[in-house]
Amino acid sequence: MKPILIHTHFHKRRTGVTRSIENVLPFFNKEYETSVYGYNVEGEKITTSKLKKLLFSDREVVVHCHRNNEIMRMLFFRFLGAKFKLIATRHAETTPSGLTLKLLKKADKVVTLIESMSKNLGIKNTVVGHGVHVDLFSPKKDVTLKNIQQENIILCAGRVRKAKGQVVLLEAAKVLKEHKNWALVIVGKVDKPAFLEELKTISKKHNITDQVYFVDETTDIISYYQASKIAVVPSFSEGFSLVTAEAMSCGCSVIATKNVGVHSALITTNKNGYLCEAGNIAELEILLSKSLKNEIPLLGKEAREEILKNWSAQKEAENLMAVYKKASV
């Protein structure tokens, strides 16, 4: 009989964490009876009553949590006498709060996403980077987007907030004036309406309003990757940066910020993408200009090869299962 694996997801929004869970779930099925406890995530759902039955049974159960509220739920069951192995992933690069650290210490194994996060956490952990479901996030020719007039697309996907660097991107995007067949499409949930207005003001300042599009977060993000030739990830901070890996998997030529999240591990400049300093408008402008003028090559094919070789969801699942097995010894 296979051991039980349950991933938890209690969050009102779908985020990169959500996609990271969904990406790996199918690859656990050979070795685990896999399900999801929570909401706003795709997968074989498990009810609270079924969860309790499993947690208080003699079956081998591994529960993998991704947020504080999920860890607290599971610790309550452990307090009542449930027997299971608790795995917790830390998804943020920021210094954890006292509460977060206390909860993580109660897990049997802690997972982090990148080396800097691992070093800064202050407790024993295992680094397992996110992987991409490469069959879903794959290149596709002749994908077009509704209401986008231009033939060629530069994509920026993710939360629309100052830390994600969209101000830097829009300042650098003034090069679009010389390339009327290129559009910049910014896709993501806007944290503050005033920030969106700030971005629109910048596009007006550079007279590129008719080439810049703002799109709310969408469940069809894959089509946006597939329709884009270039993806820019100008973030100042990232827990991992799944967007970068997904864009590369879909064959986008990616320009991302150096030493932010996993960017510098994913990308080798001039080989499978391009890196620039966070906040450096001039450097990003030069990379965009050279890309649009064909002075440097678009490296989407090479980006896809990097993901297939080193960053697939299957590889992530295998690494996570090694953690689960160590916890069960």
The series of mean pLDDT values per 10 residues for the chain, 329 residues long, is: 96 90 94 97 96 96 97 97 96 90 97 92 94 95 93 96 97 97 97 96 98 94 97 94 96 97 95 98 98 98 97 96 91
Using CA atoms, how far apart are residues 227 and 251, in angstroms rounded to an integer?
10
Amino acid found at 84:
F
In sequence order, which residues have a C-beta less than 8 Å from that of residue 302 and are 6 or more positions away? 271, 272, 273
Q: Which of 253, 262, 237 is nearest to 287 (CA)?
A: 253
Domains and CATH numbers, the chain: 4-131+312-328 (3.40.50.2000), 152-310 (3.40.50.2000)
| Span 31-78, pLDDT tens digits | 999 999 999 999 999 999 999 999 999 999 999 999 999 999 999 999
On the 0-12 / 13-18 / 19+ scale of CB atoms within 10 A, 152 is middle
Which parts of the chain fold into alpha helices (H)? 16-24, 48-55, 68-79, 98-105, 115-121, 166-172, 193-205, 221-227, 242-249, 263-266, 281-292, 300-310, 313-328
- Distances 195 to 159, 164, 185 between C-alpha atoms, Å: 12, 12, 16
Which pLDDT score, from 0 to 100, does residue 320 have? 98
